[in-house]
Chains A and B, each alone.
Chain A
């Protein structure tokens, strides 16, 4: 019997009687991270990393939560359960499950590059690795983040010179804070959408250093906008909230921006291919580092990734889940998956 199986409610560990990131209510839900496609409402008890707990409370309301530190082992029915950094967002964890000498790891979402606002990904040796594959095609190969942030700063400088605001769309949880931690704070004020600012507060409480940010309502002199960086979730695009900023250049920070068509379809001025997910070399490297002989892939281009791995001699299969995007990766984040 497999240690983890796919059910219509989500990944399930029969021996330990808990689900991982279930998409329907269950008695006990182990949560990899607080993005809405992984942490859904309605379960009786949530188990997660302690930095994920405040975000869960914020997003799901008053729910029952048990927390753990990275590496802490929780034992249940003879099954060992532990959380390990996934490097995706604050509190994100890979779930390690071990029983009778067999170890499985469910990655949740992860990236390999250390982003400075969440603990870096740690490879965990295992027999079976359940990996995400949001960007599971070789065309997704990220530039080093220093290069991307230099490009963002340059874009800002051009906008400041032209007297217009820089409006950057970034997912409220994780991406926005990563941007905050790396852009040049000396260039001008940073204004955050309320949804972003709420998460900023949780990051700061968890001890992550972020530069000063303000809400739009705290800006009295509108001329300040012409030098400002404005951070908003993609869902704020085309909303009346944007009207106050006057002339602006807009951009989106998302892995989907690697492909020009995705940017052009959204009629954005700029697209920065900055992702909190592993790119292709990242996925292949992470899989290799686990030493696993069996790979199960979820999300995105699982079909391509698993076929590639099978041709390399691994036992790799696609696992149907309700995470992230649908079967095809090329939508450009038009659906609000947190990429």
Chain B
């Protein structure tokens, strides 16, 4: 625990990527040299790569520890929490000086102490937590509480973890990225063997077997947001690109190895069990195949359809009802069936073809899908498989026009994939024209909305009022009585200077305080953008918006002239047009 707490402090205090990298490399190298540390190092990788175990103690117990352990009243602990913005950190600051308890390794802490906690009774759990908190040295407490709350990320990206491990193991980063896939899944218990498999230079048979169910790391797209006029000079002609729709589903990789199939989410969670609808598709695929694509809800037409037909595509809101469900009912499978829209082929006949150009992979994908479709047709089977249709055009202007239809087609925009590009790792690119995927999304929908509540942020925004609730008017200005109806919360889109200014405004214009939330006098209008809008019975406004964020501070706009609920709902109606 000492070594891990020290690593945590180093990563937390380092601002440069270089320093963080050096700290991780030093930590992993020291662990590599000492097999007794492998199990703890495996946990360290798990946490740094974003792994979150089930919370071993509920927030309720941590709060009780803050109050009883510090001896301060509940309201004072709340004040402290407000100033810190992080429960683990608040606990580490408010509890009396720690002790000099016996050293336990991170692995012992996790397996022997924390993971068994949920099986104990409430009082026993609390008693143990309190004892541990008293025994732990003060400078290890923050890392300890972070293990419980699971918010352990310290500004280290997964790619940085991959780089550090690759350096220590002496393998290339692509290999390490693949070894790391699935590593940080929720309920996983990392072991010494896992760390050994990560840092081993040669994969022996056992590790290879472990590897067989692992997908390739996802290649992520960059946002294209420059003006249309820039496209030809920067990107060359559209003929250099494979253009497809950008779907509004979830990204997934479908793997078939031997008789086994697996579906991996972009968050690198294994999600096969949640989508039994894909079973017939997986069975129909040959062994040694990896498909990259989008999982969507799609109600298949009753008649014939081609492999690139997207008839029956449903709103993202339908897919949302399938997300996060472990057990899927017959009814759900009937009413909200999913399909896999394939758009890339990474492996065929067990051969990794990611280095081949995009257009060749596309051709191989078309051949594979045609073959699978034809075989299914012979058997009279209908497969939940589609191939992402390409969008053809001579000019960027023409494509821009087609892009405008995206919303009506329930899509987010277009994808541009360099014809000659390889399938990369993560969000990395070469220059603008090669080895890159661009997402060319529609401009978001937007309304002018009024800030009516504010909350403090977390992490580097802790203590500052950065999270706002936005409202629109229930009726137009001429209405005799109207009110502001909240419809969205947003916290991104402002510069640090604007945040400071808003923070001061919130403090100055606070009307009432309800716990962490302050209601403020309606004085500020923002242009609030969002990606999608759907009817909602849970929200008072009757709508729910996706990815709301602040596009612009409308200092020019009086509150009275902010948009109305009708204007917001008009966007809802506009969707189907």
Contact = CB atoms under 8 A, between A and B. Distances in A.
Interface of A: 137-139, 141, 258-265, 267-270, 301, 304, 307-308, 311, 326-332, 334
Interface string B1-43: 0000000000011111000000000000000000000000000
19 contacts: A139-B80, A139-B93, A258-B93, A260-B86, A261-B86, A261-B462, A261-B464, A264-B460, A265-B464, A269-B13, A301-B83, A304-B79, A308-B73, A326-B504, A327-B507, A328-B507, A330-B82, A330-B463, A331-B503
Contact of B94 (A138, A270, A331): A138
B514 interface: no
A268 B16 CA distance: 10
Q: Which 10 A-B pairs have the closest CB atoms?
A: A330-B463, A261-B462, A264-B460, A139-B93, A330-B83, A139-B80, A304-B79, A265-B460, A137-B80, A269-B15
Interface string B69-93: 0101101100110111110011001
A137 B72 CA distance: 10
Contacts of A301: 79, 83
A261 B459 contact: yes
A40 to B, nearest CB: 21
Contacts of A330: 82-83, 456, 462-464
A260 B89 contact: yes
Contacts of A307: 75-76
B75 A259 contact: no
Nearest to B510: A327
A292 to B, nearest CB: 21
Contact of B70 (A138, A267, A304, A331): A138
Given A138-B80, A259-B84, A329-B83, A264 B459 contact: yes
A265 B85 CA distance: 13
A14 B13 CA distance: 51
B557 interface: no
Contacts of B73: 308, 311
A260 B12 contact: yes
Contacts of A139: 80, 83-84, 90, 93-94
B84 A261 contact: yes
A203 B72 CA distance: 40
Contacts of A326: 504, 507
Contact of B463 (A261, A304, A311): A261
Interface residues of B, number: 34
A270 B82 CA distance: 23
Nearest to A328: B507
B539 interface: no
A272 to B, nearest CB: 11
B500 interface: yes
Contacts of B464: 261, 265, 330-331
B461 interface: yes
Nearest to B12: A260
Contacts of B459: 261, 264
Contacts of B12: 260
Contacts of A263: 13
Nearest to B73: A311
B160 to A, nearest CB: 17
A327 B464 CA distance: 13
Contacts of A141: 93
Nearest to B16: A269
Nearest to A155: B13
Contacts of B463: 259, 261-262, 328, 330-332
Contacts of B79: 137, 301, 304
Contacts of B16: 269
Contacts of A334: 500
A326 B506 CA distance: 12
A297 to B, nearest CB: 14
B476 to A, nearest CB: 37
Interface of B: 12-16, 70, 72-73, 75-76, 79-80, 82-86, 89-90, 93-94, 456, 458-464, 496, 500, 503-504, 507
Contacts of B72: 138, 308
A308 B72 CA distance: 9
Contacts of B13: 263, 269-270
Nearest to B500: A334
Contact of B460 (A137, A261, A311, A331): A261
A290 B76 CA distance: 23
A250 B449 CA distance: 40
Contacts of B85: 261
A263 B459 CA distance: 10
Nearest to A311: B73
B134 to A, nearest CB: 16
Contacts of A258: 93
Contacts of A261: 84-86, 458-464
Nearest to A308: B76
Nearest to A267: B15
B99 to A, nearest CB: 16
Given A261-B461, A261-B463, A331-B464, A137 B83 contact: yes
Name the residue among B12, B72, B93, B504 with the largest chain A CB count within 10 angstroms.
Answer: B93
A133 B503 CA distance: 21
Contacts of A262: 462-463
Contacts of B14: 269
B154 to A, nearest CB: 10
Nearest to B97: A141
Given A141-B93, A301-B83, 5 more contacts: A259-B84, A259-B89, A260-B86, A269-B15, A308-B73
A141 B80 CA distance: 12
Contacts of B75: 307
A242 B70 CA distance: 42
Nearest to B506: A328
Nearest to A268: B15
A267 B462 CA distance: 14
Contacts of B462: 259-262, 330
A45 to B, nearest CB: 34
Nearest to A262: B463
Contacts of B496: 265
Contacts of A138: 70, 72, 76, 80, 93-94
B5 to A, nearest CB: 14
A327 B503 CA distance: 12
A261 B82 CA distance: 12
Contacts of A270: 13
A326 B464 CA distance: 13
A117 B461 CA distance: 35
Nearest to A271: B13
A89 B476 CA distance: 58
Nearest to B71: A138
A146 to B, nearest CB: 16
A139 B79 CA distance: 10
Contacts of B89: 259-260
A326 B73 CA distance: 24
Nearest to A136: B79
A34 B418 CA distance: 65
Contacts of B86: 260-261
Nearest to B77: A138
A137 B94 CA distance: 9
Contacts of A269: 13-16
A279 B400 CA distance: 61
A263 B12 CA distance: 10
A133 to B, nearest CB: 12
Contacts of B93: 138-139, 141, 258-259
A141 B86 CA distance: 17
